Amino acid sequence: MEATTKQAERRYTVAVYPGSFDPVTHGHMDIIRRAANVFDKLVVAVLNNSSKNPLFSVEERTELLRQATADLPNVEIDSFRDLLINYMKQKDAHLIVRGLRAVSDFEYELQLASTNRKLCEDIETFFMTSSPQYSYLSSSIVKEIARFHGPVTDLVPPVVEQALRVKFSQEHK
């Protein structure tokens, strides 16, 4: 009886996983797949970070994510250029998903979570630790390897590997 009551009280959960995803890596995909199993709907939101000089445009990153997550029916890919809190309100979402690779990520992520909570107390942040095989992996590392035509097959989805090859072959022309 108690389980039925809890099920009836259960709310539809929409979580947002924001990031630059420049490019999306297997580490990102690990978090996306695991979060998609936890929440009813996961919005992967590509942000336009004005402090970074991205390799791929927001549109390219969004499309790469769409292709990489095509097998996940409860995952939506979107982009935003505003404060995350404003975007969350637009999506009627109250949960932020953030991935943690190492202790060094935690301090920065805690600062962001605390700031978001200060701006909107209805927002909760869920931290997911990366699977151990991805704890070293970052988009910056992937771009550096790809820039010098190193192997990235084990680091990114196939669609991203191809996009990196194209991007860096154009750069050397």
23 is a domain residue:
yes
Which of the residues are catalytic?
28, 52, 101, 139
DSSP letters spanning 58-99 = HHHHHHHHHHHTTT-TTEEEEEE-S-HHHHHHHHT--EEEEE
What is the domain-level CATH number for residue 54?
Answer: 3.40.50.620
pTM of the model: 0.89
Binding residues for substrate: 20, 52, 84, 98
122 is a domain residue:
yes
Question: How many domains does the chain contain in total?
Answer: 1
165 is a domain residue:
yes
Q: 85: domain range?
A: 11-171
Check residue 171 and give its pLDDT. 64
127 is a domain residue:
yes
In contact, 36 and 75? CB cutoff 8 Å: yes
Structure confidence by residue, pLDDT tens digits, 104-160 = 788 889 999 999 999 999 999 999 999 999 999 999 999 999 999 999 999 999 999
Sign of CA dihedral 139, 18, 131, 125: positive
5 is a domain residue:
no
Q: What percent of the chain has pLDDT over 70?
A: 91
CA distance 73 to 60: 21
142 is a domain residue:
yes
Binding residues: 20-21, 28, 52, 84, 98-101, 109, 134-140
Structure confidence by residue, pLDDT tens digits, 66-89 = 999 999 999 999 999 989 999 999
Position 103 confidence tier, pLDDT thresholds 50, 70, 90:
confident
